């Protein structure tokens, strides 16, 4: 029995996307939460909490995109054709936001507000577009004879747009937990005050998307509500409610600063897992599986050799970065 190369590469891409969402999510969320803080010292602390690691987080996005191009060229071609406009806007927003991240600390006081606005809108727009992409995948693509036959604005419809809003809320919640874990004093107290409304809003978003998804996609409806699948999927909403309860309790008692971030991570993981279960084994919904989209075995095997070297290096670098800069950040610390 040979090695299932398409499955291995499917797992690598899913893992890369999940790592990007988790790690760059709180980073983008800092820009989303920026308007809630007007004090420049608090904003400096927010940025400095992510400054040592933020650029390394996007390594996972590059890895996922490169892996998709090499391992599943058909999927890559369809995705770029169907989502070329939002993906281009996302990259521009990430570039714009990255420039604002660095230039804000070098600007004088009169110009800093302009970079603050650039950072805010770059973060919100990049996140919103990422949510649109997720919604477009759930909605599905019109493909005939392995060629995308839909319109270039199919993504501009109510469900993907709402998913964009939902991801903005999710990243804001994740960042709220991150800042509670990393900061002290006024900023930490402000984040605790935001934790409850953000958690409730996230619960409403999850409920709406969960109700809308099976209505939108008949394949997902049959998968969710057929037996015995219904019993297998039942723990997911229960775990979501459990995570929400933990965050609400944490917002009330404010005892363990690590709990909100970990509970938000669990919510993100549950949402991502639910999406994967719903679409499996399709890489391009509704009908192109990851095996149909896979490249030649020789290419997959050749690439795997390099991946087995580079992925552990990225993991070690990521772990070491977060380990070195662990703990609370204080106002006298700066990374620029």
Name the packing angle between helices 5-33 and 297-324 (round to 10°).
40
Specify whether the CB–CB gap between 216 and 210 falls below 8 A. Answer: no
Mean pLDDT of 115-128: 90
The reported pLDDT for the residue numbered 199 is 92
What are the pLDDT digits (tens) for 27-66? 899 989 988 887 778 887 888 888 777 777 778 888 888 8
Specify whether the CB–CB gap between 93 and 31 falls below 8 A. Answer: no
The reported pLDDT for the residue numbered 165 is 94
Give the DSSP H or E segment for 207. helix 185-216
The reported pLDDT for the residue numbered 251 is 83
pLDDT above 70 coverage of the chain, percent: 96
The reported pLDDT for the residue numbered 208 is 92
Burial of 226 (0-12, 13-18, 19+ CB in 10 A): exposed
Q: What share of the chain is helix, strand, coil (3-state, %, to 5)?
A: 80, 5, 20
Tell me which of 39 and 203 has the higher pLDDT.
Answer: 203
Mean pLDDT of 284-302: 86
Contacts of residue 176, defined as CB under 8 A and 6 or more positions apart, other chains included, come to: 29, 33, 191, 194, 195, 198, 260, 264
Residues 257 and 264: their CA atoms lie apart, in Å, by: 12
Query: Taking Cα atoms as reference points, which of 273, 219, 213 lies closest to residue 243?
Result: 273
The reported pLDDT for the residue numbered 33 is 92
Under the banding of pLDDT at 50, 70 and 90, the label for residue 158 is very high
Neighbours of 261 (CB within 10 A): 22
Give the DSSP H or E segment for 33. helix 5-33
The reported pLDDT for the residue numbered 200 is 93
Mean pLDDT of 140-164: 87
Residues 331 and 24: their CA atoms lie apart, in Å, by: 23
The reported pLDDT for the residue numbered 125 is 93
Contacts of residue 239, defined as CB under 8 A and 6 or more positions apart, other chains included, come to: 266, 270
Mean pLDDT of 261-288: 84
Residue 280 phi/psi, 5° resolution?
-50, 140
What are the pLDDT digits (tens) for 67-84? 888 888 888 888 888 898
The reported pLDDT for the residue numbered 333 is 61
The reported pLDDT for the residue numbered 164 is 94
The reported pLDDT for the residue numbered 20 is 87
């Amino acid at each position: 029995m040979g090695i299932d190369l398409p499955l291995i590469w499917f797992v690598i891409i899913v893992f890369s996307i999940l790592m990007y969402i988790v790690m760059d999510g709180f980073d983008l969320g800092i820009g989303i939460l920026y308007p809630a803080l007007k004090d420049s010292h608090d904003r400096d602390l927010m940025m400095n909490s992510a400054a040592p690691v933020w650029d390394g987080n996007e390594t996972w996005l590059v890895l996922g995109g490169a892996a998709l191009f090499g391992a599943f060229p058909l999927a890559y071609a369809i995705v770029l054709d169907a989502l070329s406009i939002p993906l281009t806007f996302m990259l521009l927003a990430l570039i714009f936001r990255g420039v604002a991240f660095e230039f804000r600390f070098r600007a004088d006081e009169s110009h800093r507000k302009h970079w603050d606005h650039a950072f805010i809108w770059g973060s919100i727009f990049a996140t919103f577009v990422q949510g649109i992409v997720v919604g477009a995948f759930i909605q599905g693509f019109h493909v005939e004879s392995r060629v995308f036959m839909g319109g270039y604005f199919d993504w501009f419809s109510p469900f993907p747009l709402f998913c964009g809003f939902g991801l903005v809320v999710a990243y804001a919640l994740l960042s709220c937990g991150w800042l509670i874990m990393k900061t002290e004093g006024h900023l930490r107290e402000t984040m605790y005050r935001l934790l409850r409304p953000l958690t409730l809003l996230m619960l409403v978003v999850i409920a709406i998307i969960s109700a809308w998804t099976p209505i939108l996609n008949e394949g997902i409806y049959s998968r969710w509500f057929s037996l015995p699948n219904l019993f297998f999927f039942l723990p997911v909403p229960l775990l979501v409610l459990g995570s929400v309860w933990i965050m609400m309790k944490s917002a009330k008692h404010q005892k363990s600063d690590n709990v909100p971030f970990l509970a938000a991570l669990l919510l993100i993981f549950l949402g991502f897992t639910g999406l994967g279960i719903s679409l499996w084994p399709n890489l391009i919904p509704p009908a192109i599986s990851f095996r149909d989209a896979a490249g030649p075995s020789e290419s997959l095997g050749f690439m795997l050799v390099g991946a087995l070297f580079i992925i552990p290096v990225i993991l070690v670098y990521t772990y070491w970065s977060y380990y070195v800069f662990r703990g609370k950040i204080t106002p006298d610390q700066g990374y620029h």
